[in-house]
Every structure is written in C-alpha cells, then in structure tokens.
Amino acid sequence: MKFVPVNQPLLEGNEKKYLNECIDSGWISSEGHFVSLFEKQFAARHGRKHGIAVSSGTAALQVAVDLLDLKNGDEVIVPTFTIISCVNAILQANATPVLIDCEPDTFNITIEGVEKAISSNTKAIILVHIYGLPIDADPILEIAQKKGITVIEDCAEVIGLNYKSRPCGSLGQISIFSFYSNKHVTTGEGGMILTDDDIIAKRSRSSRNLCFQEGKRFYHKRTGWNFRMTNLQAAVGVAQLERLDSFIAIKRKMGELYSKILHSCPMLQIPVESTSYANNIYWAYGIVLTDECKYNADQLIQLLKEQNIGSRPFFYPMHQQPVFKEMNLFLNDSHPNAERIADRGFYIPCGMALKEPEIEYVAESLLDIVK
C-alpha cells in the first residue's frame, strides 16, 4: 500500500473554474467579488446575519477576542484540551485564561467545569467543539446569558454539524471557523467570523483591514491587522461550500467503516457515534489507547508510520505547554482527562479523498499492531 496521508482534500468541484475566473478577471486580492459571495453564502448556511472572511482560524480568534475590549485581570474560560491559538488570543489581549478539563469520551468541556470556573472576573467563554462532536451548549449558553458573559464559539472542526436542530456556528454571540486544508470546507488557509450583531460585524471588518477609515484611509483611530482573505481563497471556498453536504456524508461513511472494523478491540477507545444532542461528523477519527494496550500514542504513531500510514497526536494540554510554564502560567493546574488522552490519543487518516480500501488497510494495520 502506498503512503496513506492523514489528510487529502477533495478539489473536484468548481474550484478550477472559479480560480480561472479570478485569474482571467485580474481580481486576485481581497477586493474580488468571491470574498463577499463566500461571506454571504457561509453566513446564510448558518442562519447568521454577517460573515467576515479572514486569513485563518487563528486570525478569526484574534479578532473575536480583541472585540471584547478585555483589560488586565479579566478572565476568559477556555478548554485546556484545544489548540494554542485560543490561549494565545487571550494572553495577547492582556487577559487571564482559565482552563478547564474535558470529558474522557467526547473530549469536550462540561457544564460542571464551566460553572466551577466562573468568577466575578469572567468576561467570556470560548466554546471549542472538538474533533467532530459539539459541546452540550444550551446549559452553558443559559448561564452565560444570565451572568452577562460573552460566548465565542470555535467551530473550526465541526463545519456543517448541527447541535440539536441548530447549526454549530449559530450559538455564540461570535462564532469562528477555520478553512485549513483538513477542514470540511477548505480554502487552503482562511477563516470566518459569524455574528448577528451589526457593531461586532463592523468592527471585525475594520480590524481585519488595518482599521482603515472610510474617506480617510491612512488615518487610524484604532490598531488592527492585515487579516484579509484573498479572492483566490474565497473562490475555492465558494466551490467547497457547494459540496458541503456531500462532504459530510463522506466523513460519516468513513467514520462508520472505521468503527465497524475497530469496535470490538478492547485496546482501542473509538469515537462516540452520537449523543442526545448531535451525531458525530468525524472531522477526525480520534482513538484513545486503553490501559490494556502496551503502547502510548507516540509509539503507536511511529509503528503506523512504518506501515506507510500517517497519523497525528491529540492536542497537548495548555497547562502542560512548556512555553506557558516558562511564563509561570497554570503551574497548579491539574486536568487528568486531558492529560491522559494527550498521552494515549491520536487520530488516523480521515481526509475527504480517503478511499474505502485505504480505510480498511489503516484499520486492519492498527489492529495488527495493538494485538
């Protein structure tokens, strides 16, 4: 079997057609019409009033947190089991990240963890939907509303997923997305901010564009960033969004086949198929090695590599990151669920272009290794 990569996107729709349109017209920068078209269509898909396209999911988080106008001493609740971009954005706003642990099976934060972390200094909660299953958001949203806490919803890994009957991306006052190459909709790099708030939308558009002033372009009342999405990226995004429903079906079929082969192995904790509020969209097929397995995740990843199979470790918890220890952050934190799955968790190939024989090869190879 040739090498099976962790991810390979599907670019078989109108991507080339729309890219050629950009090239033929000469509109390749952020001024082209595909940017506004992508924003409108993506917002409409999620039932939101405004879409603001940016250069990455990290940029979307940066803008979203900046909109909170945080000051020293303000706190933002965030999972310890997530990507570092979330904590970076909080620290760059001179605020304090308050970390909470995750569930051992869905890898998402819990209502109990959020309740315990809330203080009089809490200004926001970043809800990060992890690996294809959403957080049970309604109880958290209810608490946040009562206490006047802003909710930023990170939907990078759940594009196209519903929480109950509502799209993920319609839950927070601000919702953000990533369009990195392994996402259900990709633009190579790119991101999006969704909101129903006119003021948030206006400020987001300004922040991503260096806060240029209307009528007086190079006169600045606030600082911002060059986080613009190009017309080329947006053209790919429009083509990808046209196929989102078929992409979701591909992902779920992939997850079902993996689970069918792997479900009876006692050394593998496989993804939760569904909860009372959502069905797994399998952005990643995440596996946790049980205590019966003699390997940890790093060892297993190396053994898969020897079989020509790509894989990736789980997130490394924020409270154990060396860079934050050097900053004397989270020194007394202990989050056992995140620590365990970081040591024993990994995900196997799950890209859109993955074929059924490759799925079977990966799963059977994994079983041979752990047995």
117: its two tokens: 């972390």
In this predicted model, what pLDDT tens digit does every residue of 47-94 receive, in sequence order?
999 999 999 999 999 999 999 999 999 999 999 999 999 999 999 999
Please state, in angstroms and as integers, the Cα–Cα distance from residue 253 to each residue in 162, 260, 273, 313, following that order: 17, 11, 12, 23
- pLDDT score at 56: 98
CATH architecture designation of domain 244-370:
Alpha-Beta Complex (3.90)
Provide the residue ranges of all domains of the chain, joining segments of one domain with +: 15-241, 244-370
Confirm whether 15-241 and 244-370 share one CATH topology.
Answer: no
- pLDDT score at 214: 83
Average pLDDT over residues 347-355: 97
Can you give the three-state secondary structure of the chain, one letter per residue? CCCECCCCCCCCCCHHHHHHHHHHHCCCCCCCHHHHHHHHHHHHHCCCCEEEEECCHHHHHHHHHHCCCCCCCCEEEEECCCCHHHHHHHHHCCCEEEEECCCCCCCCCCHHHHHHHCCCCEEEEEEECECCECCCHHHHHHHHHHHCCEEEEECCCCCCCEECCEECCCCCCEEEEECECCCCCCCECCEEEEECCHHHHHHHHHHCECCCECCECCCCCCCCCECCCCHHHHHHHHHHHCCHHHHHHHHHHHHHHHHHHHCCCCCEECCCCECCCCECCCCCEEEEECCCCCCCHHHHHHHHHHCCECCEECCCCHHHCHHHHHCCCCCCCCCHHHHHHHHHEEEECCCCCCCHHHHHHHHHHHHHHHC
- 34 by Cβ neighbours in 10 Å (0-12 / 13-18 / 19+) ranks as buried
Q: Which CATH class is domain 15-241?
A: alpha beta
297: its two tokens: 């995740």
In this predicted model, what pLDDT tens digit does every residue of 110-132 receive, in sequence order?
999 999 999 999 999 999 999 99
Helices 231-241, 33-45: crossing angle, 10 deg rounding: 40
- pLDDT score at 215: 83
Q: What is the pTM of this model?
A: 0.96
Please state, in angstroms and as integers, the Cα–Cα distance from residue 134 to each residue in 30, 128, 144, 275, 336, following that order: 32, 8, 17, 9, 21
The candidate with the shortest Cα–Cα distance to 337, out of 151, 136, 107, is 107
- pLDDT score at 283: 97
- pLDDT score at 288: 98
In this predicted model, what pLDDT tens digit does every residue of 132-184 receive, in sequence order?
999 999 999 999 999 999 999 999 999 999 999 999 999 999 999 999 999 99
